[in-house]
Structure 1
Amino acid sequence: MEPALVWVGSICVLLAILLPAGSLEAAQAIKVTDCRGHSLSFNQPPQRIVCLIESALSGLYMLGAEQKVVGVSANVYQAPAYRWYAAMDERIRARRLPAPGNWDFVSIESVLALRPDVVIIWSEQTETITALEQRGVKVFRVFINSREDVWREMLALGQLTGRQVRARELIDYSRGELEAIARRTSRIAPARRPSVYYMWAQGNLETSGRKSTVNDLINLAGGRNVCGDIEREHLIVSLEQVLLWNPELIVMWGNDRKDPADILCDPQWKRVRAVQSRNVHELPEVFLCDLWTLKFPYAVKLLAKWSHPAEFADLDLEREKRAMLAKLYGPKILAHRP
């Protein structure tokens, strides 16, 4: 063998020994497919990520890829999400991490100033996506209608950040938690599954049909979505229709404008069975049970306990919450919990 080749080979072996595995992995070109089927190619995993969706940002923190984030959704700096992210990231606690936009508005100039390798954004924000791509910015589109979409997104984010192993570990954990609940609810006879009306925070008559994470939530928890035979993900119904459905349980998306007491005291709702039996519940703050993240199983556990209190009397929701946070984010979030 030529001396020069021996020398080059020796250097390569030495680098393989001395460089951490992450450094070698980071140098590899990658191709990622986003939630809408668009393929993105990178010479190496992106080092500068602008994430304008809080649920996707949550996934990046679960993956341990937060230091790659150079811009966040403005919603992160609003209560109650801020206190959780502040507990995990000193940059957010000090309000140093830029927030160039959210669902309502995105400052293209502010995004460009951050020199992102990729921007993560909802696929429905088409005007912003077009503006960014015309300026040469790569965009990862997010679209979620089911728990399978959440798992696919996490796999893609894991690939995007070089955290594939961690992504698969977390997805397996999420699947296991859901399967454990589903094994219990599968033994509940159809006649004992309560009819459930889900109420979004935007209005009492805004709900979700069959093609939605809400429908998944209700079914897995052992209930029946009153509008589960309607295909649409999001819909507005009439009060008359709700009265005809006459749900046994009402579940409210967490919000700071309305509580179960408001529904219980509303004369328009007094004829509904859920109101008469005072079976109206509100999910806790979004950070804890975001249906578009791997925290989805915690929401299922809450609804399972509300739907079947006797069958789930042993379920300690506070303990479940702490275990979930520790698994997904690590012990730091509990040590500095709000």
Structure 2
Amino acid sequence: MSTQTTPRRRAARSLLATGLVTALALTGCSSRDEAQAEGAAAGESLTITDQRGETIALDGPAQKVAFAVMPAPSIFAAVDRSYDRIVGINSSTLKANQGGMFATMFPASASSATIAGNDFMPNIETLLELDPDVVVQWGDNGPGVIDPIESAGFPVVGLEYGTQEDLETWITLFAQIAGKPERGEHLVSWQQAQIEEMRGKVAEKPAERPRAMMLSRTGDAYNTTTGAGYDGFQFDLVGADLVTQDFVSDSGQVNPEQILDWDPEVIFLSGFDEMTPEDVYADPRLASVKAVADKRVYKTPLGGYRWQVPSAESPLMWAWMHHVLYPGQDTAEFRADVKAGFDDLFAYQISDDEIDKVLRTDLNKDSAGYGQFAR
């Protein structure tokens, strides 16, 4: 374990020590710089231990945060109940922001600067222009995506991905970065309470569970997930047997014959591509798959972020999946939970029309049982 101490932060602390902060203020330093200086002078510095085991020292709660990691900005916004500190994001996050509710809740998110693409390689020139207090990056993708950021003088919080424990750690780390540890505790407690509640609901269901899978498409090729990732936890939690549990593939690609062999009863479609239930129903190669024949194919929701991946909104995803798998429950209560969730997470009063948008009712309207989500 080591402590990151960057030249830029050492210089800032040196300025504080020599009393030059006042001089900088007189010559036009930013209010953010003043706030950082005041926080550091008041002894409000903080240290964070990331998922690499690295200790990161900050002068105080970060006022400007950049995210190379895709799902992270919406989680940070939920912790902060604001987008004000987010200055840079991944290009994939920008696409999700523009296509979903996030830009409605936080208009600035639709035009955020991008600091990385799908390969997560940082754009150092953009980072230098943005001058964030800290950069959030994958901690397990090798030094190539982290070293350039640290070499430019920016502290890096490294993350790992794949489990519910990782998600709860992210929430805790972001709460520390924002200087709001109690808020992080609140959100983690909500997640854990919803897990226990969902387990109780599933325990009351029949022992034979619906067979289900997650499906996406890249070009003409289908792709899926396995039990080794978050879906191994998520599908089990909501009471589904993940038919791809033991599937092994470096690329994630799966051919129609394999899907026929699995014969899932329910198919959830990824939010990372444009494939719709109608596209699946129209594929003659999948016509005899039970989920297709019964029209039980559903596009996953897009709220603050794509609900299928670990996020601050994951409890809402679990509830939605459970309703799809086991139709006939009280969906009025679910819609109320969505409203309460958006209020607590994002300080946003979501309308019924916007809930319909989040739930992709336009794309799912012809799928079996989706009328249950109507107002």
TM range, smaller chain? 0.7 to 0.9
Q: Corresponding residue for 2:62? A: 46
Verify the 8 A CA contact 1:25 1:162 in the aligned structure 2: no
Distance 1:205 1:190, change over 3 A: farther
Letter in 2 for 1:47: Q
Give the counterpart letter for 2:59 in structure 1: N
Question: 267-276 or 239-248: which moved more?
Answer: 239-248
- Give the count of matched residue pairs: 313
Cα drift, residue 24 of structure 1: 9.2
Kept in 1: contact 2:270–2:308 (CA 8 A): no
1:299: Cα distance to partner?
1.4
Root-mean-square deviation (Å) = 3.1
1:227 to 244, 254, 279: 244
What residue identity is the alignment partner of 2:323? K
Are the equivalent residues in 1 in contact too, given 2:97–2:109 (CA < 8 A)? no
Q: 1:100 aligns with which of 106, 111, 115?
A: 115
Is residue 196 of structure 1 aligned with residue 197 of structure 2? no
* Secondary structure class of the residue paired with 1:251: strand
Q: Quick one: distance in 2 between partners of 1:320 and 1:210?
A: 28
What per-residue deviation string (whole Å, max 9, x for no partner) do you get for residues 140-199 of structure 1? 1222202221101111111122111001101111222232222111222332x0111211
User: Distance in 2 between the 1:139 and 1:68 partners?
Assistant: 16
User: 2:300–2:307: 8 Å Cα contact kept in structure 1?
Assistant: yes
- Take 2:300 and 2:100, find their aligned partners in 1: how far apart are those partners? 18
**Equivalent pair of 2:269/2:300 in contact (CA under 8 Å):** yes
Q: Distance in 1 between matches of 2:295 and 2:222?
A: 19
Whole-Å Cα distance in 1 between the matches of residues 92 and 142 of structure 2?
A: 16
Change (3 A) 1:119 1:255: closer
Q: 1:62 aligns with which of 71, 74, 78?
A: 78
1:70-85 mapped onto 2 (5 Å cutoff): 70-78=87-95, 81=98, 84-85=101-102
Counterpart amino acid of residue 304 in structure 1 = H
Alignment match, 1:117 = 133
The corresponding residue for 1:304 is 322
Q: Is 1:122–1:143's contact at 8 Å kept on the other side of the alignment? A: yes
Report the Cα distance in structure 2 between the residues aligned to 1:73 and 1:165, rounded to whole angstroms.
27
In structure 1, runs of 5+ residues without a counterpart are: 1-21
CA 1:229–1:92 in 2, change beyond 3 Å: closer, same or farther?
closer
CA 1:202/1:113 → structure 2, altered by over 3 Å: closer, same or farther?
same
Q: By how many angstroms is 1:23 displaced?
A: 5.9
**Contact 2:232-2:242 at 8 Å conserved across structures:** yes
User: Could you state the TM-score of these two structures normalised by the residue count of structure 1?
Assistant: 0.81
Of 156-165 and 49-58, deviating more is: 49-58
Farther-moved stretch of structure 1 (144-153 vs 49-58): 49-58
**Partner letter of residue 84 of structure 2?**
Q
**Counterpart pick for 1:166 among 155, 163, 183:** 183
Q: CA deviation at 1:55?
A: 1.9
Question: Residues 47 and 161 from structure 1, CA distance in 2 versus in 1: closer, same or farther, beyond 3 angstroms?
Answer: same
Aligned to 2:299: 282
Offset from partner CA, 1:267-311 (integer Å, 9 cap, x none): 11012111121111111226262522121111111211111113x
The alignment-based identity, stated in percent, is 21
Relative to structure 2, which stretch is displaced further, 73-82 or 40-49?
Answer: 73-82
Tell me if structure 1 keeps the 8 A contact 2:67–2:135: yes
Distance 1:83 1:215, change over 3 A: closer
Distance in 2 of aligned mates of 1:240 and 1:299: 29
In structure 2, what is the Cα distance between the partners aligned to 1:37 and 1:89? 33
The separation in 1 between residues aligned to 2:143 and 2:351, in whole angstroms, is: 38
Aligned to 1:265: 282
CA shift in 2, pair 1:233/1:24, >3 Å: farther
Which residue does the alignment assign to 1:135?
152
Question: SS at the partner of 1:145?
Answer: coil
Instruction: State whether structure 2 residue 225 is matched by structure 1 residue 205.
Output: no
What amino acid sits opposite 1:209 in the alignment?
Answer: T
